[in-house]
């Protein structure tokens, strides 16, 4: 069943348009989503999806970069973009009265980026700076290292920011070919939430994308259902040790994804979670500790991150394993289940008051080929999760193939390790 108020149309160009009207607001959150990300890059292309996203802002034949910036400021609108492992999005928020002009500029950027050699050379420096800044952020970089351990040579394990040598060497011609192949109708979803009229949005999109090549849809047939296991310890003189532990997860549309969300929240996804209460509150060994999951098409992972003083790193790793062993051997409690179900229900209901969240949710669900569920339907799925479901999902994830470890800090390769109990 579709979300109440959600409407969908597929245009002749194969572009899918989704809208949801939110009563009582005067703004529109609109995103142009491409079903293309770092996962879809070959080794020679690592980082081009992200680089191309940057280049969209450098100008078209109608407007240069400064013109674009000034136009959005004059309209009181925002525009931004991001690149992920499986999608790229350019998104904006504006008053409904300015929507036609905002869409005209945004679609011009997405469809008619110039990619001139001089602009490429300037933006290379910016992207290289971003890569270097990421390398100086161990709390972020450690997640890339864990992905590399889990997925090996698979492109989903490579950093979204890419490879500096690829960025340095890409030509205007090769980036243009990359652009033409990916920014095609069958890979584009346009989502809008807020003060929207579906027919009006469809008309504006059709006008801006008239004549767009439908192209070939994205094909991802290279999934790795079971990740690798291993360890990566990277020496760096840091004040904190940055630790990630990961294992097998679930794919994006897996029927047990609701049970996974509940399990993840109990383990480390809230202030009342086991990891936060035991290691942060009771023992005071960390400032930040949380669990998370990565759900991709055909594959997934579960993870835990924490930062601690280097002298405590091995003890914290042991304590995390202790908590996972307690789950494996003793399971969860009915009190934890009930509390977490209420937490997820409240968080989801509150988030739906934000039109940006609604827009993102629509687009991601459509790109993933999933079912557009109402909040009530999602809550129903969450509330139907049982203790038996949680125990089964733990065995399918953390208990299935063994855990992997990635650490950044002042350690030699053999100083830290997992015990193998999980």
Q: Which residues are catalytic?
A: 53
Q: What CATH number was assigned to the domain covering residues 231-409?
A: 3.30.830.10
C-beta separation of 353 from 184 below 8 A: no
C-beta separation of 86 from 252 below 8 A: no
Residue 36: Cβ within 10 Å count: 25
Question: Which pLDDT score, from 0 to 100, does residue 346 have?
Answer: 96
Q: 104: which 2 tokens?
A: 């005209």
* Domain 6-208 CATH superfamily: Metalloenzyme, LuxS/M16 peptidase-like (3.30.830.10)
C-beta separation of 235 from 226 below 8 A: no
Question: Which pLDDT score, from 0 to 100, does residue 5 have?
Answer: 84
Question: Which pLDDT score, from 0 to 100, does residue 1 have?
Answer: 32
**What is the b/e burial string over 369-380, where b = at least 16 CB atoms within 10 angstroms of the residue's CB?**
eeebbebeebbe
Question: Which pLDDT score, from 0 to 100, does residue 4 have?
Answer: 53
Q: Backbone phi, then psi, for 95, in 5-degree steps?
A: -65, 145
Q: Where are the domains of the chain?
A: 6-208, 231-409
Q: What secondary structure does DSSP assign to 9-43, as a single string?
A: EE-TTS-EEEEEE-TT--EEEEEEEES--GGG--G
Rg of the chain on CA atoms, in Å: 23
Q: Backbone phi, then psi, for 31, in 5-degree steps?
A: -130, 140
C-beta separation of 8 from 201 below 8 A: no
Per residue of the chain (422 residues), what is the pLDDT tens digit? 344 589 999 999 999 999 999 999 999 999 999 999 999 999 999 999 999 999 999 999 999 999 999 999 999 999 999 999 999 999 999 999 999 999 999 999 999 999 999 999 999 999 999 999 999 999 999 999 999 999 999 999 999 999 999 999 999 999 999 999 999 999 999 999 999 999 999 999 999 999 999 999 999 989 999 999 999 999 999 999 999 999 999 999 999 999 999 999 999 999 999 999 999 999 999 999 999 999 999 999 999 999 999 999 999 999 999 999 999 999 999 999 999 999 999 999 999 999 999 999 999 999 999 899 999 999 999 999 999 999 999 999 999 999 999 999 999 999 999 999 98
Q: 404: which 2 tokens?
A: 């992997």
**What pTM does this model have?**
0.95
Residue 228 to residue 247: CA distance in whole angstroms: 8
Question: Which pLDDT score, from 0 to 100, does residue 37 have?
Answer: 98
């Amino acid at each position: 069943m579709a979300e109440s108020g959600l409407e969908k149309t597929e245009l002749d160009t194969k572009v899918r348009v989704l809208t949801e009207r939110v009563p009582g607001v005067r703004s529109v959150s609109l995103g142009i989503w491409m079903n293309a990300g770092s996962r879809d890059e070959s080794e020679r292309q690592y980082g081009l999806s992200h680089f191309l996203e940057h280049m969209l802002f450098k100008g078209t034949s109608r407007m240069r970069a400064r013109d674009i910036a000034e136009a959005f400021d004059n309209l009181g609108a925002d525009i931004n973009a991001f690149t992920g492992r499986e999608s790229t999005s350019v998104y904006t928020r504006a008053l409904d009265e300015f929507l036609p002009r905002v869409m005209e500029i945004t679609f011009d950027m997405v469809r008619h980026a110039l990619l001139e050699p001089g602009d490429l050379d300037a933006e290379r420096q910016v992207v290289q700076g971003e890569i270097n800044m990421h390398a100086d952020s161990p709390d972020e970089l450690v997640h890339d290292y864990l992905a590399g351990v889990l997925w090996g040579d698979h492109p989903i394990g490579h950093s979204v920011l890419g490879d500096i040598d690829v960025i340095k060497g890409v030509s205007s011609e090769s980036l243009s070919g990359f652009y033409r192949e990916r920014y095609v109708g069958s890979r584009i979803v346009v989502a809008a939430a807020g003060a929207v009229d579906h027919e009006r949005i469809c008309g504006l999109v059709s006008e801006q994308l008239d004549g767009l090549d439908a192209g070939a849809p994205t094909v991802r047939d290279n999934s790795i259902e079971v990740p690798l296991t291993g360890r990566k310890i990277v020496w760096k003189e840091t004040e904190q040790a940055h630790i990630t532990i990961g294992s097998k997860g679930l794919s994006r549309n897996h029927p047990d994804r609701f049970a996974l969300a509940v399990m993840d929240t109990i383990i480390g996804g809230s202030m009342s979670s086991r990891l936060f209460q035991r290691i942060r509150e009771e023992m005071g060994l960390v400032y930040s500790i949380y669990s998370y999951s990565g759900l991709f098409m055909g594959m997934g992972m579960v993870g835990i991150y924490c930062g601690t003083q280097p002298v405590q790193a091995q003890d914290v790793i042991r304590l995390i394993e202790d908590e996972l062993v307690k789950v494996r051997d003793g399971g969860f409690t009915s009190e934890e289940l009930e509390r977490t179900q209420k937490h997820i229900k409240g968080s989801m209901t509150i988030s739906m008051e934000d039109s940006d969240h609604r827009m993102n949710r629509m687009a991601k669900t459509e790109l993933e080929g999933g079912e557009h569920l109402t909040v009530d339907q999602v809550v129903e799925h969450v509330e139907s999760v049982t203790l038996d479901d949680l125990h089964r999902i733990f065995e399918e994830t953390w208990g299935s193939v063994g855990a992997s470890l990635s650490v950044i800090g002042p350690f030699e390769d053999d100083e830290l390790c997992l015990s193998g109990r999980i």
